[in-house]
Homo-oligomer: A and B are copies of this chain.
Amino acid sequence: MMDESCPGKVEPILEILDSKWMLLLLFELFNGTKRFGELRRKLQPISPKTLTDRLRLLEEKGIVTRTLYPGVPLHVEYELTESGQGLQPIFAAMWTWTQQFGESLQERMDDRRMAP
C-alpha cells in the first residue's frame, strides 16, 4: 500500500488541504451548512477574496456545494458533499498523532548526533 506510486496518489489531496485557512474552513463546515458571511465572521480576519478562493477550490474539487437562495437580500449556503464528509478520518488521524506525539513538538535541536 505504501508503495512507490503512493506519493502521487496522496498529493492531490495535499493540494487541497495545504493552503492557509483551509483547515479552519473545513472544520466550520463539518459543523453543518454555513453561509458566506457566517464563515467570514468565524474565520476573522480572513479577507473575502481569500475566502472566495478557498470555497471555489473546494467547489471545483467536489468537496462542497454552493446553493444560491434568491430573494432580498440573497444568500448562499455552503455544504460538504459526501467526499467532503469523507475527509474526517484524515483529521481524526492527525488528531490521534497530535495526542501521541504533540508533546514533543517544542523546538529543540539537542539530539543531533555523530555516528558511534
The answer for the CA separation of A108 and B81 in the assembled complex, in Å, is: 14
Question: By the criterion CB–CB under 8 Å, are A109 and B67 in contact?
Answer: no
Copy tally for this chain in the complex stands at: 2
A49 to chain B, nearest CB (A): 18
Residue count of chain A within 8 Å CB distance of chain B: 54
11 contacts between A and B (CB under 8 A): A1-B92, A2-B88, A10-B23, A13-B98, A17-B18, A65-B113, A68-B112, A69-B114, A86-B100, A89-B93, A89-B96
Spell out A's residues near B (CB within 8 Å): 1-2, 6-7, 9-14, 17-18, 23-24, 27, 30, 59-62, 65-70, 82-83, 86-98, 100-102, 104-105, 107-109, 111-115
